[in-house]
Amino acid sequence: MPDFPIIDSHVHLYDVEQLRYSWMSGVPQLAHTTRMDEFDEARGPVDVERLVFVEVDVDPGLHLDEARFVAGLAEKDTRIGAIVAHAPVHKGKSVEADLVALKAIAGVKGVRRLIQQEPDPTIMLSHDFIEGIRLLARFDLSFDVCIKHYQLAYAIELIKRCPDVSFILDHIGKPDIRNGMIEPWKSQMRELARLPNVVCKISGVVTEADHRSWTRDQLHPFIEHTISVFGFDRTMFGSDWTVATLALNYPTWVEILDERLAGSSDQEKQNFWRNTAIKSYRLTSD
C-alpha cells in the first residue's frame, strides 16, 4: 500500500431513499445506500485523505438535488473535496441555467454527462453538445468524459474543438479488456495524450474485464500504456467505488496499482496518488 495518504478521484455516494437511480434495478448488487461510513468500511487499510464525488446517473431532473445531497455530506465530512455533478450539456447554450445553479452549490468543480450508453457517439460532435461544453470554461468547470473505447475517436475530436475546457478521461476510455482488444484503443490513447487539455483517470479498469475471471496480466498492458503516453503528471488514481466492487474490492485495486508503481520515483508516486487530482479538481486543504 502507499505509505502516505492518497486522493481518490472517483467515488460514487448515493442514497436510494432520497433519490432515484432507475439503472440500479438492473444491478441489484449496487442498489443500496452508500455514504462515507460504507466507504470507510470498504477502503480498509487504505489511507484516503480526500476524494472526488462523481455523479451516479441519477434520474432525469434530479441532478441538482444530487449535487446538494453530496454537498450536505461534505459539510459533515471534509474529505469530500470536490463534486463532479451531472449537467445536461447536450442542451447547448440553454444549459447555462444549470451551470449557474451548480456553481452556487459548494464543492462543485466539474460536470459529467454520461456518453457511454449513447447508441450514436456523434452526439458529442453535435452543435448543441459542443456549445454546452464550451460554456464550461466560463464557469471554471472541468468535464469528465465517460465513454466506451469505440467512442474515443469522437471524444478526441470533441476535445480538439474545445481547447479552453479542461477534460478528464474516466476509466482509461473503457477498453475492451475482456476480449484483449488493445487496438485501436492504444493508438487513440496516444493521440488523445497529445492534447494538452486532457488528463486521465486510471479507474474502472477491472470492470472492463470479465468480472469473475480477470487476471492481473490482462490489466497490465492497458495500465502500462496509459501511464506511458500520459505520464505521471497527467494520470491519477480513481477507485470507481462502488461500481468497481462488481469485480474486486478497494484494497486489491490499490495493491495492483501500487505494485505497478514500485519502481517509480517518489515524485511520480505523489503525482499519481495525489497531485494530479489536486490540480485537476482544484482541491484545497481542509
Concatenated DSSP letters for 160-196? HH-TTS-EEEGGGG--BTTTTB-TTHHHHHHHHHTST
d(CA 286, CA 90): 34
Task: Identify the helix (H) or strand (E) that includes residue 157.
Answer: helix 152-161
Q: According to the model, what pLDDT value does residue 286 have?
A: 52
pLDDT in tens, 231-256: 999 999 999 999 999 999 999 999 99
Q: Quick one: pLDDT at residue 285?
A: 60
Q: Alpha-carbon distance 78 to 71, whole Å?
A: 10
Distance CA 260, CA 198 (A): 23
Q: What is the pLDDT of residues 25-41, one digit of tens each?
A: 999 999 999 999 999 99
What separation, in Å, do the N-terminal and C-terminal C-alpha atoms of the chain show?
Answer: 24
Give me the phi and psi of 6, to 5 degrees please.
-110, 170
Instruction: State pTM to two decimals.
Output: 0.97
Q: What is the pLDDT of residues 150-184, one digit of tens each?
A: 999 999 999 999 999 999 999 999 999 999 999 99
What's the mean pLDDT when you consider all of the chain? 97
Q: Which amino acid is at 32?
A: H
* Domains of the chain, each with CATH number or no CATH: 6-280 (3.20.20.140)
Beta bridge partners of 185: none
Task: Give the torsion through C-alpha atoms of 155, 149, 87, 92, to 10 deg.
Answer: 40
Q: HSE of 127 in the Cβ direction (CA atoms, 13 Å)?
A: 1
**DSSP label at residue 265:** -
**Over the stretch 95-131, which tens digit does the pLDDT of each residue have?**
999 999 999 999 999 999 999 999 999 999 999 999 9
Q: Are residues 283 and 8 in contact, defined by beta-carbon separation less than 8 angstroms? A: no
- Buried b vs exposed e over 248-284: b needs ≥16 C-beta within 10 Å? bebeebbbbbbebbeeeeeebbbbbbbbbbbebbebe
Could you give the dihedral angle defined by the CA atoms of residues 141, 199, 53 and 59, in that order, rounded to the nearest 10 degrees? Answer: 70
| Band (284; pLDDT cuts 50, 70, 90) | confident
Q: d(Cα 107, Cα 214) in Å, to the nearest integer? A: 36
Q: In the predicted model, what is the mean pLDDT of residues 5-16?
A: 98
pLDDT digit string, tens, across residues 46-104: 999 999 999 999 999 999 999 999 999 999 999 999 999 999 999 999 999 999 999 99
Instruction: Supply the DSSP symbol for 34.
Output: B
